[in-house]
């Protein structure tokens, strides 16, 4: 409760707080992710039989994707190598890549240093090595209250929009997923992402 009250006060003090916030998280991307019920629905006449459908399940082909985005779109994304867990050492390297992406893609935030990082309380995110790196580089971190999925925009907004285009598609291996990823770093995709962030 105290964290939420502090965040509310911070937003009142700085109305542009959310526009200066970069939020990120990890998610699994599967080689075969079944369609949603809505995607798989079919029109039928009142007297026709319901079509039979084979039950599908997520495949064992998968790769961990880390994404950071702000109000203007995706800032940085990368895939974690197979067999690698997201520990404090890996996450620190990801943050190094993120800062470089901010420098290139958000030069106004980079030059002012007036931006905030938001991530959840996963052990890799709150490890001492990571906290020391963020403090050393003067990166302000927005606190994440425990058990607050409504404050994790990656989970309830970004990831579903990214994965919906991959549902029902089959990819033989991780390389195939990466060749046609849910996120692309070119300007047109970032512009589309920006439009969705504002109008989605």
| CATH number of the domain where residue 188 is located | 3.30.420.10
Cβ-based neighbours of 166, under 8 Å, separated by 6 or more: 29, 30, 33, 182
Secondary structure element (H or E) that encloses residue 30, with its range: strand 21-30
Other Cβ atoms within 10 Å of 140 Cβ, number: 14
**Structural domain for 122, as ranges:** 21-33+59-199
Q: Domain total for the chain?
A: 1
Measured between alpha carbons, how far is 146 from 117 in angstroms, rounded to an integer?
17
CA atoms within 13 A on the CB side of 114: 7
Would you write out the chain's pLDDT as a tens digit for each of its 200 residues? 676 677 677 777 788 888 999 999 998 888 776 555 544 445 556 766 665 555 555 567 888 999 999 999 999 999 999 889 999 999 999 999 999 999 999 999 999 999 999 999 899 999 999 999 999 999 999 988 776 766 677 777 788 777 777 776 777 888 887 876 555 443 334 444 444 444 34
Query: Where would I find the H helices in the chain?
Result: 2-13, 37-40, 88-105, 107-112, 123-126, 128-136, 153, 159-163, 174-179, 187-199
Could you tell me if residue 43 is inside a domain?
A: no
pTM beyond 0.85? no
Q: Are 3 and 145 in contact (CB under 8 A)?
A: yes
Could you tell me if residue 114 is inside a domain?
A: yes
Could you tell me if residue 45 is inside a domain?
A: no
Could you tell me if residue 15 is inside a domain?
A: no
Could you tell me if residue 93 is inside a domain?
A: yes
Could you tell me if residue 186 is inside a domain?
A: yes
Phi, psi values for residue 141, rounded to 5°? -115, 125
Other Cβ atoms within 10 Å of 48 Cβ, number: 9
Could you tell me if residue 122 is inside a domain?
A: yes
Could you tell me if residue 110 is inside a domain?
A: yes
């Amino acid at each position: 409760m105290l964290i939420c009250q502090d965040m509310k006060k911070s937003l009142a003090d700085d109305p542009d707080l959310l526009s200066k916030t970069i939020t990120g998280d990890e998610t699994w991307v599967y080689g075969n992710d079944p369609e949603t019920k809505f995607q798989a629905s079919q029109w039928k006449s009142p007297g026709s039989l319901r079509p039979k459908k084979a039950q599908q399940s997520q495949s064992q082909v998968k790769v961990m994707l880390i994404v950071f985005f702000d109000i203007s779109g995706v800032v940085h994304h990368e895939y974690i190598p197979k067999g690698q867990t997201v520990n404090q050492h890996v996450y620190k390297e990801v943050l190094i890549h993120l800062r470089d992406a901010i420098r290139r893609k958000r030069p106004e935030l980079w030059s002012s240093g007036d931006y905030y990082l938001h991530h959840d309380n996963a052990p890799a995110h709150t490890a001492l090595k990571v906290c020391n790196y963020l403090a050393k580089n003067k990166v302000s971190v927005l606190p994440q209250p425990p058990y607050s999925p409504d404050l994790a925009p990656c989970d309830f907004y970004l990831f579903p929009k990214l994965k919906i285009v991959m549902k029902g598609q089959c990819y033989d291996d991780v390389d195939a997923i990466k060749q046609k990823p849910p996120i692309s770093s070119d300007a047109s995709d970032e512009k589309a992402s920006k439009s969705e962030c504002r109008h989605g």
